Amino acid sequence: MQDFRGLDLGAGSGGSPGGGGNRWRMRELAQNEHFDWAIFRRALRAFIPYWPYTIIVTIVILAASFGGVLPAWLTQKIIDDGIARRSMSLIVEYTLALILISIATGLLGVLQTWLSNLIAQNVMADYRISLFRHLQRQTVGFFASRQAGDLVSRVTNDVTAIQSVVTTTLVGFVSNLLNIAATLFLMFSMNWRLAILAVIVVPGFVIPTQRVGKSRQKLQGQIQQWLSKMTVQLSESLGVSGALLIRIFNRQGAEEKEFDDSNRTLRDLQVRQALVGRWLFMWLNMFSSIGPALLWMYGGWLVLQGEIGLGTIVAFTALLSRLYGPLSQLAQLHVSILSSVALFRRIFGIMDVEPEVKDGTRTIADNSVQGRIRLSKVSFSYHPAAQDAEPDAGRGRPEGGDAAEPPVARWALRNIDLAIEPGETVALVGPSGAGKTTLLNLIPRFSDPAEGALEVDGMDTRTLTLHALRAQMGLVPQDPFFFHDTVANNLQLAKETATRAEMEAACRAAQIHDTIAALPEGYDTVVGERGYRLSGGERQRLAIARVLLQGPKIVLLDEATSALDTVIERKIQDALAVLLEGRTALVIAHRLSTILKADKIVVMEKGRIAAIGTHAELVESDPLYKQLYETQFHIEDGLRQQG
């Protein structure tokens, strides 16, 4: 039986997404791929720093390939020189050589595995860090428009699959090629006529292997699609929300039927896939017997003619497996090469996204500005390619034309002029979708405006380094995020050197110290994603404490909308009073008390500033503000009064 280990023919080899996941994934990637030299060349560049290892690996493979054919040659010598001439000393000599060579090729194999893994792991580590670095430079908008799972998968799974690019594709290519070269060299030097006979059988191996490889690959793609369909159905229907929806709408029967259909299709595909491999096995078995049979017949005749010794035929049959195995593997190599190209295409797809916000060069000390903010003729768009339409054009459908796709609004902000003096509190109000959050996000340069400019203390924000700019301001988002870490470590994000006393002082000012002190491990309690759950009001006060610890001159605040009981509301108001005191503040305000305390209120509508004034002025002069006051702030305030 020949060496077909590289052929991946096992019935269940690719059917399960569990074991051998990498190979399964590589095949999927190769599905719709075409060879792209530019990507391949670019991918190879990552190996340049490791060229000394690459050269050593190639030498090792070369030595191992020649070492691999020597046993066949020694066998010939044992039979034709040792046994035929009845020389025991020659037999012992050649046998010892045989043993030494197998030890040496074994050691070379270990060296080759070690070096190729060293190269692969180094290249992987390089890619991981450069991808992570690149992602750190991206804007928040970049993450908003992509699935976190997909990005994680590129940094982890795709990069991990580089391992097989090195060990299967590159090393496989070189070693198979050298094995074939070494084998052919020995065959032709022993007997060219027998060598030609051995090569004649080759197409019988290579052609079906390629064809079967292709159809298995196609089936594998289909299996994978059905598996992922099943996984989606399972995760949706077995999750709490999905389970609830299915029961409410009495969909159990339909769900079962859908699952049954996928299940049956999958079963049929897997059976077909297993059979494709079996037919090939039968064919290969047949050919692996035909090769030696022809050799024995023709070789036997040559022996009878006295042209060659018996040892040559024995050596040739041993060499056949070293020829057919690598040839079949080379015939399949295009799958690995295409998957590698697909893999690098995905990795480069991320690397090639230029960060939307370019870093400036000017540095200033942390918290060193006075806090003057100016926006001049600022316009911003999430859809730069959309038609020039009014900002609200996307929301209303054209009259009577409900089938038409609504046009996307080009401008989320249009011609915003706004000046905020140091120490001033400005409340942003307006209906949902007016552009308040968009405006707030422009100040720390989470995005840049398409037109106009923003200044802090007279400096264009684009000239400052992002680090210097962001070190001047603190942000309290509507739903603050905390890492899965202790309260203390989450607070120290704002100031690495903060002492416990400083943290406690900030938390006291933010009205959250008592709550933290009462946690199981106080400031060392783990909060965040899966840690101790803080309530919405607690999270906001902890976020306020974090900004207080940072002590910036500029505060950006997106006030929580949720109604809270009076005690908590009081605490938040007190925390806010400390936060806003003596700082420039831009607040997306949802609470009347905050609005009333503001130095000026900016009313936004459809991406523009509709009015600016105090509460008293605006209630009189601005119908939109009056409406907001009556429908939102006023009622909410009334509820609180009742509470």
Ligand X SMILES: Nc1ncnc2c1ncn2[C@@H]1O[C@H](COP(=O)(O)OP(=O)(O)OP(=O)(O)O)[C@@H](O)[C@H]1O
- Kindly list the residues in this chain that would bind ligand X in the complex (CB under 6 A): 141, 144, 382, 412, 430, 432-438
The smaller minimum CB distance to ligand X, of residues 151 and 302, is found at: 151
β-strands 584-588, 600-605: how paired?
unpaired
The smaller minimum CB distance to ligand X, of residues 431 and 613, is found at: 431
Which of 360, 329, 553 is CA-nearest to residue 463? 360
CB of 439 vs ligand X, minimal distance in Å:
7
Tokens of residue 517, six digits? 């002190």
CB of 507 vs ligand X, minimal distance in Å:
28
Q: How far apart are CA 78 and CA 90, in angstroms?
A: 7
CB 591 within 8 A of CB 407: no
Q: For residue 538, with 0-12 CB atoms within 10 Å meaning exposed, 13-18 middle and 19 or more buried, which class applies?
A: buried
CB of 426 vs ligand X, minimal distance in Å:
15
CB of 607 vs ligand X, minimal distance in Å:
7
The smaller minimum CB distance to ligand X, of residues 72 and 412, is found at: 412
Q: What is the CA radius of gyration of the chain?
A: 36
Contacting residues for 609 by C-beta, under 8 A, at least 6 apart: 416, 417, 418, 602, 603
CB of 114 vs ligand X, minimal distance in Å:
48
Tokens of residue 301, six digits? 């005749």
CB of 558 vs ligand X, minimal distance in Å:
8
CB of 408 vs ligand X, minimal distance in Å:
8
The smaller minimum CB distance to ligand X, of residues 339 and 438, is found at: 438
Tokens of residue 223, six digits? 């299996």
Grouping H, G, I as helix, E, B as strand and the rest as coil, residue 601 is strand
The smaller minimum CB distance to ligand X, of residues 124 and 588, is found at: 588
Q: Which amino acid is at 182?
A: A
The smaller minimum CB distance to ligand X, of residues 319 and 440, is found at: 440
Q: How far apart are CA 540 and CA 148, in angstroms?
A: 25
CB of 137 vs ligand X, minimal distance in Å:
18
CB of 142 vs ligand X, minimal distance in Å:
10
The smaller minimum CB distance to ligand X, of residues 21 and 536, is found at: 536
Hey, which residues does 609 pair with through a beta bridge? 604
CB of 554 vs ligand X, minimal distance in Å:
19
Q: What angle do CA 602, 608, 613 make, to 5 degrees?
A: 20
CB 6 within 8 A of CB 171: no
The H or E element that residue 453 is part of is: strand 451-456
The smaller minimum CB distance to ligand X, of residues 447 and 472, is found at: 447
CB 557 within 8 A of CB 510: no
The smaller minimum CB distance to ligand X, of residues 213 and 480, is found at: 480
The smaller minimum CB distance to ligand X, of residues 347 and 393, is found at: 393
Sign of CA dihedral 612, 613, 617, 619: positive
CB 430 within 8 A of CB 436: yes
CB 69 within 8 A of CB 322: yes
Hey, which residues does 464 pair with through a beta bridge? 362
